[in-house]
Amino acid sequence: MNDGLAGDYDAVVFDNDGVLVAPTDREVLVDAVVDSFRAFGVEIDRSFARRTVAEDAVPVEAAREHGLDPEAFWHHRELTASLAQQAHVREGGKPVYDDVAALERLDRPLGIVSNNQQATVEFLLAHHELDRFETAYGRRPTLAGAAGRKPEPDYLERALADLDASEALYVGDSEKDIVAARRAGIDSVFLRRDHVADVALSVEPTAEVPDLRTLVDVLPAQH
């Protein structure tokens, strides 16, 4: 499983949702989309909201069609989605995976780069007392912040700069993660947890593992 993994990574960066903590219940995010449009006096079909969540789309055109300022709408939507997720976490949602404890055995700096909101990432780290990570990026609540999401390498490159990493490894559970790593010029690991057990990838990661314990076991010691 470690074919292609080098032994001299000076940092390891992780995706968050589906890697460190359980994925968000999509209906929580669908509610946030509906509630955000409603806050601007617009009632939208729930199937449309569900589609934007499934596609991780920014509904700029829909906002314009209803006479809304896209930037103002998106900022509200991001705040609403983050607060909804935080409430969901307080009720027991998005637990930490048991194998995250294995990361304590890694002997190099760790970071997080997520497509979730920065406020959500920060809340999750504090709520779950995940203090092993030296830097953590989520998306900023702006249209420009959304445009920089993976598969774009923007946030990943910021994390690498923070960690002063020249040879890093990125661990994620989606094709976007693998592409972002390639664009950032670093190796990638696809974490094939149960929720992505049947996902077919059109790009090849450097390596693939079933869980974080396996990753720690196969990752060569730092030289």
Please give the biggest Cα pair distance in the chain: 59
pLDDT of 6 reads 76
What is the per-residue pLDDT for 206?
Answer: 96
Q: Where in the chain is the domain with CATH 3.40.50.1000?
A: 11-23+95-218
Task: Please tell me the predicted confidence (pLDDT) of residue 108.
Answer: 94
Q: Is the pLDDT of residue 3 over 70?
A: no
- Say what the pLDDT of residue 155 is: 98
Distances in Å between the alpha carbon of 111 and those of 9, 46, 102, 114, 134? 13, 35, 15, 10, 6
- Among 3, 12, 15, smallest CA distance to 192 is for 15
- Band of residue 76 on the pLDDT scale cut at 50, 70, 90: very high
| pLDDT value, residue 2 | 52
The proportion of the chain whose per-residue pLDDT surpasses 70, expressed as a percent, equals 97
Specify the fold of 11-23+95-218: Rossmann fold (3.40.50)
Domain with CATH 1.10.150 in the chain: 26-90
The total of other beta-carbon atoms located within 10 Å of residue 3's CB is: 8
Confidence of residue 1 (pLDDT cuts 50, 70, 90): low
Question: Using one digit for the tens of pLDDT, what is the confidence trace for 92-133?
Answer: 999 999 999 999 999 899 999 999 999 999 999 999 999 999
- pLDDT tens digits along 118-174: 999 999 999 999 999 999 999 999 999 999 999 999 999 999 999 999 899 999 999
7 has a pLDDT exceeding 90:
no
- Whether residue 8 is predicted with pLDDT greater than 80 in this model: the reply is yes
Quick one: fold of 26-90? Answer: DNA polymerase; domain 1 (1.10.150)
